[in-house]
Structure 1
Amino acid sequence: MTAMPPQQPDTQAPSARDDATTTEQREGKQVPDGAPQQSSRPATALRRVLITGATGEIGGALARAYAARGTTLILTGRKQRKLDAIAGECRALGAEVECTVLNLCDEETLFTWLDEVCAQGVPDIAIANAGMNTDIGPQGNGERWEDARRLLQTNVVGTFGMAHHLAMAMKARGSGQLVLLSSLAAWHGLALTPSYSGSKAAVKAYGEGLRSWLKPFGVGVTVVMPGYVTSPMCEAMPGPKPFEMPAEQAARRILKGAARNRARISFPFPLNFGCWWLSVLPAGISQRLLGWFNYTH
């Protein structure tokens, strides 16, 4: 359950082939059932991978995981210096990189940028990773509405807007994949982070709906539900952080699952299993369990 403070909106690493747009797909060879159909672009065309929130720990790790010759990375973030540093690392790994500092809360700017990106070529993979968190505070006094509102604009409106815009472009082309970052917090709302939990539940449900709608058109949609991933975001989040994992490990899991066009990528297993039970048990029992594990205040 990744988190970000209010002031900021297993395996071996897969090879460059380990993604939804493989050489076999481009050459028209048989691919597994459920994999998104690919466009008839020339085999020499660069694979285009778009990642928002690239200056976050998971976003940066994903950028490095996808960086390879034959790949164009389209990266956005809100910290120019860090974005430039990540771009340099990815170029050293052989990728071509396009960087844009972007505020996803500005819909007009977001849609204009997406139109410009698509004019150069609709992304083959688009990862909506940008997000933020807020919490009820150390004394349990509650979230500030200004913070909660900005969180919803970033996590929900920005993510939905980007996904919708690219879904229409991918649908028209007949290929592509959307990867939406939700959280294990989507299984059951947490008292410590109610707005964050609600926003990630919205992303989960939206991604599931998009997947069913877009499947007949050759477009895949994957919902990612990570647990605690080491980062300043995670450190700022109150409460226990069991089974915390490095961002690089999380990125490898996401890349492998997305390559297989999995409907859901949720990890780590023990925490996912426990959170899933919270969603199916009677709410009163789930909330009592969360209290026992100090997830109240």
Structure 2
Amino acid sequence: MFILDTEKLIQKLKEEGDQPLWEYALNQEMERSGRSREELREQMDQSLAVMERSASTARKEPVQSVSGLTGGNACRYEQYRGKGNSLLGETASLAVGMALSCSEINASMQCIVACPTAGSCGIVPAVLLACAQSRGLDRQTLINALFTASAVGIIVGSRATVSGAEGGCQAECGAAAAMGAAAVTEMLGGTPEMAFHAAAMALKNVLGLTCDPVAGLVEIPCIKRNASGAMNALLSADLALAGVRSYIPFDEVVDAMYAIGKAMPQSVRETSKGGLAVTPTGMRMKKETQRGEEG
């Protein structure tokens, strides 16, 4: 059974010869599913291939959402980045473009990997692929990192929720940022303990974040929140790799997120009855979308 208490999990990994978090997650899935290591790694490789496509497609050519409300920003940002204008470094700017691309592919109803949700699908692929490209890491290292991310996602989903309708965007983009931060930390040589510090910092950074999609669609502000979530994950990983620790343990951060989600008004939990969704511009966009559907 997967250990959901991270202090106990870290201790167990140390006792087993400093076993990495990805190895533990893989072994647990082998035990749960009865499938072989090779089968599970092949399945993760297939997911990685989908991530790679979704992270690149909309950067090459503009992609419009089905609603027509959004699209083209991943390509626009990639062109800007290609001119050397970005204020961010190579890894960070690449991650932004990849996160936008994944989210625009999702909004256009093409194939993505929900990790952990469709609305937050750009964060984990963006940070892992950007780091792998800038650091020259191989495919097996990326697959390992996805197992690390899955371990963190299991803990968040088991102790709390990854649903925007239940916990707000802190539960969706927050969980994804925590998953990405932990995975980047471990893939760049950090320990499981450092990975959980990274995850804790990433989730802390977005506590209270509402889920307020304009017109009820996973586009505004969701797409750009994926880009900011990628930055959050990279920052948190960087801090952890530098030796910075979260004063509040990861489990307690997850529990706090869940409590905050329960305390949030229903209007800001994916109902589109509050926040940005009910601004004058948000309401206008909703009417335009409804007219388009009627037409």
TM-score higher than 0.5 here? Answer: no
TM-score by length of 1: 0.29
Identify, as 1 or 2, the structure richer in helix.
Answer: 2
TM-score by length of 2: 0.30
